[in-house]
């Protein structure tokens, strides 16, 4: 059997952009062996302080390469060039927080004092970790696992999305330049699900960190099920927002529309459904239309473009199907179409933002992950109904409530079933807070002080002094 050929299709032109050769199961055996050997020395030759120095230097190099990396992101996944540079700076910010807390998080935890005894718990690295990460925010997603795993003393195999293959290659190069020993980081290109499943099931892979679709995460989980190995899953979302009647509607509409359509809605924590109190429903819709009129859909290489293409023709088809289903079931399309007419002519992946009124939970656009620039809105009569509908989902990644009364907002989000809840904010994983999904949105934690736990195992030391015996 020949090597797998992986082709990256440009979301801008629809033409082949990059070609990579996939790793075969036989090649993977050698890669894992090299990683295992690197682990046996790295954890001893590079104590935490030295690992911290390497990460700091790597972040400096990452920042110096920001313009190049941003340009490649725009070419490969289609986000406008006006915004891709901020992903690199945000990735560095996240990493710097993880660096800052690493001494505290990775130090030994003492047991209770007792004369003649010394007891403590140590956090030990796991070994070879397989990181499978998505294309939509590839540097941010990778940093979440990469930095705590390296600081803890592990070695990593980085499996990028075929859509953004150069991300892993750049990171390996950057960390090597920063002084990381050979084979502590390696890139593994793979586009075939069955081949990837064989990677996951390799007995020397000590942990898997997966970011992607629910179906992809379930497949990884099944592939790992024959042995006892931790699997971290960051999966999909159908994140709700609720607009209370006391909020400034212009301000709320600006933020909610941005939270729904930024990056063409291709974020696991994009707002994907909006509930608005009936007393301000019509006014909110008017405000949202006005906000949409200020956006430009166009070529992402143009610095004036705010919305670029979605990642693929298949993605565009899914978005279209959700919109048609909603309209067939009674939703009213309020999208100011003339604003985006020029942009949609650029190609089938140039999907205009869509504002849909009169939505309900009989529609796919309110229950399935759309992953596109849509703003479906449903009228509700009170807070109780809003919270009930927010929780009526198989997903639970983030949720937001928009209100002038922060105290009421906090009481309401306490009842919302999601890993991160916001009042008057959305679509922002803060590095000092745990990033975690409830329900089908995932399992495990990245970011915060808890984000290290997936990459260590605990070892208890119970040491007793030898008594002085009478001669």
Whole domain around residue 167: which residue ranges? 5-235+441-461
Residue 214 near residue 437, CB atoms below 8 Å: no
| pLDDT band with cut points at 50, 70 and 90 for residue 2 | confident
Q: Provide the pLDDT for residue 201.
A: 96
33 is catalytic: no
| pLDDT band with cut points at 50, 70 and 90 for residue 252 | very high
Total domains in the chain come to 2
Task: Please indicate, yes or no, whether residues 125 and 221 belong to a single structural domain of this protein.
Answer: yes
Q: To 5 degrees, how large is the angle CA 156–CA 158–CA 160?
A: 165
Q: Is 471 domain-assigned?
A: no
Task: Please indicate, yes or no, whether residues 253 and 331 belong to a single structural domain of this protein.
Answer: yes
Positive or negative CA dihedral for 12, 14, 17, 23? positive
Q: Could you give the CA distance from residue 305 to residue 325 in angstroms, rounded to a whole number?
A: 29
295-299 mean pLDDT: 98
Q: Could you give the CA distance from residue 464 to residue 51 in angstroms, rounded to a whole number?
A: 32
What CATH number has the domain bearing residue 231?
3.40.605.10
What CATH number has the domain bearing residue 374?
3.40.309.10
Q: To 5 degrees, how large is the angle CA 257–CA 371–CA 79?
A: 75
At residue 432, does pLDDT exceed 80?
Answer: yes
Q: How do residues 302-359 score in pLDDT, each as one tens digit?
A: 999 999 999 999 999 999 999 999 999 999 999 998 999 999 999 999 999 999 999 9
Residue 359 near residue 330, CB atoms below 8 Å: no
Of the candidates 234, 272, 354, 368, the residue annotated as catalytic is 234
Task: Please indicate, yes or no, whether residues 251 and 326 belong to a single structural domain of this protein.
Answer: yes
């Amino acid at each position: 059997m020949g090597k797998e050929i992986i082709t990256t299709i440009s979301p801008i032109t629809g033409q082949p952009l990059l070609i990579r050769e996939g790793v075969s199961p036989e090649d993977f055996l050698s890669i894992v062996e090299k990683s295992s050997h690197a682990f046996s020395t790295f954890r001893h030759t590079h104590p935490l302080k030295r690992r911290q120095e390497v990460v700091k230097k790597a972040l400096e190099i990452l920042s110096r390469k920001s313009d190049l990396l941003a340009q490649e992101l725009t070419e490969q996944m289609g986000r406008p060039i006006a915004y891709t540079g901020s992903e690199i700076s945000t990735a560095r910010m996240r990493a710097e927080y993880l660096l800052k807390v690493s001494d505290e998080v990775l130090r030994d935890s003492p047991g209770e004092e007792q004369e003649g005894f010394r007891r403590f718990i140590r956090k030990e690295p796991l070994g070879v970790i397989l990181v499978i990460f998505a294309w939509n925010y590839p540097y941010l997603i990778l940093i979440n696992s990469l930095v705590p795993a390296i600081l803890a003393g592990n070695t990593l195999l980085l499996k990028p999305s075929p859509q953004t293959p150069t991300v892993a290659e750049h990171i390996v190069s950057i960390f090597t330049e920063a002084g990381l020993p050979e084979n502590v980081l390696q890139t593994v290109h793979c586009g075939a699900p069955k081949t990837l499943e064989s990677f996951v099931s390799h007995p020397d892979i000590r942990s898997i960190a997966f970011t992607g679709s629910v179906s992809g995460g379930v497949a990884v989980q099944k592939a790992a099920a024959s042995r006892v190995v931790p699997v971290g899953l960051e999966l999909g979302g159908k994140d709700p927002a609720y607009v209370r009647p006391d909020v400034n509607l212009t301000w709320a509409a600006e933020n909610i529309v941005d939270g729904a359509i930024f990056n063409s809605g291709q974020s696991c924590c994009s707002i994907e459904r909006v509930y608005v109190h009936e007393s301000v429903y019509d006014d909110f819709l008017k405000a949202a239309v006005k906000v949409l009129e200020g956006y430009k859909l166009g070529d992402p290489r143009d610095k004036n473009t705010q919305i670029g293409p979605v990642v693929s023709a298949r993605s565009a088809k899914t978005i279209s199907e959700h919109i048609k289903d909603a309209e067939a079931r009674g939703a009213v399309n309020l999208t100011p179409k003339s604003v985006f007419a020029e942009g949609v002519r650029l190609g089938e992946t140039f999907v205009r933002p869509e504002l849909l009124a009169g939505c309900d939970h009989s529609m796919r656009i309110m229950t399935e992950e759309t992953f596109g620039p849509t703003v479906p809105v449903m009228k509700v009569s009170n807070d109780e109904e809003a919270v009930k509908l927010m929780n009526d989902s198989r997903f639970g990644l983030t949720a937001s409530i928009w209100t002038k009364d922060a105290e009421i907002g906090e009481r309401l989000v306490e009842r919302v079933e999601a890993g991160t809840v916001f009042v008057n904010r959305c679509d922002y994983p803060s590095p000092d807070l745990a990033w975690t999904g409830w329900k089908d949105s995932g399992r495990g934690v990245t970011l915060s002080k808890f984000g290290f736990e997936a990459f260590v195992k605990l070892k208890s030391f119970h040491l007793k002094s030898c008594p002085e015996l009478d001669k």
